[in-house]
A = this chain, B = another copy of it.
C-alpha cells in the first residue's frame, strides 16, 4: 500500500505532529502525544498507537510498560494537516501514567485546578516500584 498519505501531514520543523487519542466508545479525550513519520506509519500498519517520546527521544509503543495499549479504530487529520486524531480502544480503561482514565483530569474551578477523576490503578502497581 502506498504511503503517500504520510506526505499530507504537515510535520513541524522537528518532524513531529501532535496526536490526540480519543476513546472510540465514549468520546473522552484521553491524551495528547507526539508522532514522527515512523510512529504514524507503524500506528496505522499495526492499528496500535505508537508515539515519539520527546523526553526519551525514541519511539514509544503506548502500553509497552503499562500494558495499556491503544487499539486504533480510526485516524483523522485536521484541515491544515498539523494535528492527528486517533479513535482508540484503551486497554484497561487507563490512558494516563497517573493511573487515571484520561490525562485531562484537572478541571479549572473558581481559579483552581481540581482533580476530577479517581486513580483506577496505583502507578507503582502499573510500572513496578522504583
Contacts and interface: CB of A to CB of B under 8 A. Distances in A.
Given A5-B113, A79-B105, 7 more contacts: A3-B111, A20-B32, A26-B27, A27-B28, A76-B116, A83-B104, A85-B104
Interface of A: 1-5, 8, 18, 20, 22, 26-29, 31-32, 44, 74-80, 83, 85, 96-98, 100, 103-108, 110-113, 116
A113 B80 CA distance: 13
Contacts of A31: 78
B111 A5 contact: yes
B111 A98 contact: no
A79 B108 contact: no
A48 to B, nearest CB: 15
Contact of A77 (B96, B97, B113): B113
Contacts of A83: 18, 32, 103-104
